[in-house]
Amino acid sequence: MEGERYLLQTAQLDITLQRLAHQLIENYEDFQDTCIIGIQPRGGLLSDRLRDILSDLGPFHFDYGKLDITFYRDDFRKREQPLTAYETQIDFLVENKKVVLIDDVLFTGRTVQAALTALSDFGRPQAVELLVLVDRRFHRELPLEADYVGAQVDALDDAYVRVEWEKQNGQDAVRLLSAKELGK
Amino acid sequence: MSDYNQLSTKHLLGIQHLNSEDIQLIFEHTKRFKEVINRPIKKVPSLRDVTIANLFFENSTRTRISFELAEKRLSADTVNFSASSSSVKKGETLLDTVNNILSMKVDIVVIRHPSEGAAQFLSDHIPAQIVNAGDGTHEHPTQALLDLYSLQEKWGSLKGKRVAIVGDIVHSRVALSNIFGLKKLGADVKVCGPPTLIPMHLEELGVDISYDLDETLQWSEAVNVLRIQLERQEGKYFPSLREYTRYYGIDLARLEKVDHTLTIMHPGPINRGIELHSDVADSEHSIILDQVENGVAVRMAVLYLLAAQKGAKIDTLDS
């Protein structure tokens, strides 16, 4: 397809995911008092993958959940179409725990801000870190940075970075799509 | 999950005006909000810039508290109004009352009123979004939604299921809303009660009519037992409460004659020992308290989805 650009393809993506998992182990050792939380919907797919990799690397015990932030967004009612809410699966409290939030793409930072607000409804964590697969570093609208980054991408404002997973899209890849390809 | 993520209507006046996608959209959100209200902090900030007025021109405990909790758990600001302590007593008209409240910048009005069509009337005349919390004997959409949700939660789907509505059909807004909703979700509906309490031409809505409770119970998988509305019995509809109970009251002995397990619902408040006996109301057949829990989540879903519509709010920051 014309103009189709891959930022990461299956083999590279796998190396990146392995690296991210190892970085987490480096910092959290046995993951005592640690929660790993994926931001729904797409961060949840990434966190599922990382959890699988971590479970291959050793027996680690951490609380694992997924957080939907639709009800916490600051652009409620400002969109053309309301967003669909996904399921929140958190059956533990984050009170005094270390939390790793996971999302696929860090762009404006507003999702992460909403996630931090949402997280506070489950207690007061001791510390929160952010892991993202792709950091679009020149588009931040809020003073937020990620602690673990898979890849950094400098793309045009109207370009779209899409993380694809084999289960949903038939392949593991990170693609860069132009506005035209998205049909906008 | 469907792409359908917007209600087809600006107000919730009745189930009659919803389509089945609307109902399923409300149910998807109900599931999400049910998770929210079981968290340690049962609150989300979605509606923090929305003001909701609860106008209750008729007595209500459950519905009023349920709406108020739903609003608070969505972080909306609320004002409450009940007719017994207001200027309505001094002769103010409905429109004047509401316009006065609206000039205090209210986005959504939840109204319960003894006259049929009161919610529709308001939606025609004022710019706020209207949620009908019961208008006379016409509709009570959020009650029907929570009844339907409770059944769908239990069964997965209502398609082809047999549901009976028993009791005072003619005075019941719950019955009418339930009939519309059950039919839209594909259930078979039978109503049962004394002939005087079943309105004429009801079969045109596609429901069966029965005057025999035992036969109806044998047919159904779930029964929604309606309250005998003692306050709406100006005429004589049946000779005595005792006779009503004998023919149409549900007790355990009656249920034991049925060869399968029935699910019993009641919109409350129950007249214990009249339409429903305690040995059934407090038994494992009953999902009455699940209904109440679902009521808050359903109302959160309705208010959230109405407020989520673009341009729903009268004065937004960027307008």
Q: Are residues B148 and B265 in the same domain?
A: yes
Question: In angstroms, what separates the C-alpha of A137 from chain B's closest C-alpha?
Answer: 27
Contact state of B308 with A77 under an 8 Å Cβ cutoff: yes
A111 lies in a domain? yes
Tens digit of pLDDT for each residue in B4-58? 788 999 999 999 999 999 999 999 999 999 999 998 889 999 999 899 999 999 8
**φ/ψ of residue B148, rounded to 5:** -65, -40
Domain that holds residue B163: 142-288
**What is the tally of structural domains in chain B?**
2
How many Cβ atoms sit within 10 Å of the Cβ of residue B64?
A: 18
Do A125 and A148 touch, CB atoms closer than 8 A?
Answer: no
A67 contact residues in B (CB cutoff 8 A): none
Question: In angstroms, what separates the C-alpha of A41 from chain B's closest C-alpha?
Answer: 12
Contact state of A81 with B5 under an 8 Å Cβ cutoff: yes
A178 lies in a domain? no
Q: What is the CATH number of the domain that holds B74?
A: 3.40.50.1370
Q: Are residues B136 and B210 in the same domain?
A: no
Q: Are residues B75 and B91 in the same domain?
A: yes
**φ/ψ of residue A70, rounded to 5:** -55, -45
ipTM exceeding cut-off 0.85 for this assembly: no
Q: What is the CATH number of the domain that holds A141?
A: 3.40.50.2020
A26 lies in a domain? yes
Contact state of A88 with B41 under an 8 Å Cβ cutoff: no
Q: Are residues B217 and B161 in the same domain?
A: yes
Out of B32, B40, B312, name the one closest to residue A87 (CB).
B32
Q: Is B5 on the interface with A (CB under 8 A)?
A: yes
B7 lies in a domain? no
How far is residue B166's CA from residue B29's CA, in Å, rounded to a whole number? 29
B256-285 residues touching A, CB cutoff 8 A: none
B314 lies in a domain? no
Domain that holds residue A47: 11-155
Q: Are residues B49 and B130 in the same domain?
A: yes
Contact state of B304 with A71 under an 8 Å Cβ cutoff: yes
Contact state of B44 with A71 under an 8 Å Cβ cutoff: yes
Residue B258 in 3-state DSSP? coil
- List the structure tokens of B44: 């989300």
B206 lies in a domain? yes
Q: What percent of chain B has pLDDT over 70?
A: 92
**What is the tally of structural domains in chain A?**
1
For strand B208-210 and strand B188-192, is the pairing parallel, antiparallel, or unpaired? parallel
A183 lies in a domain? no
B113 lies in a domain? yes
A141 lies in a domain? yes
Question: What is the model's pTM?
Answer: 0.89
Contact state of B308 with A76 under an 8 Å Cβ cutoff: yes
Helices (H), A29-119: 42-57, 110-119
A22 lies in a domain? yes
Q: Are residues B53 and B176 in the same domain?
A: no
Q: What is the pLDDT of residue B240?
A: 86
Bridge partners of A164?
Answer: A173
Buried b (16+ CB within 10 A) or exposed e, A170-179: eebbbbbbee
Question: In angstroms, what separates the C-alpha of A78 from chain B's closest C-alpha?
Answer: 7
Q: Are residues B95 and B197 in the same domain?
A: no
Lowest mean pLDDT among A157-171, B45-59, B112-126, B143-157: A157-171
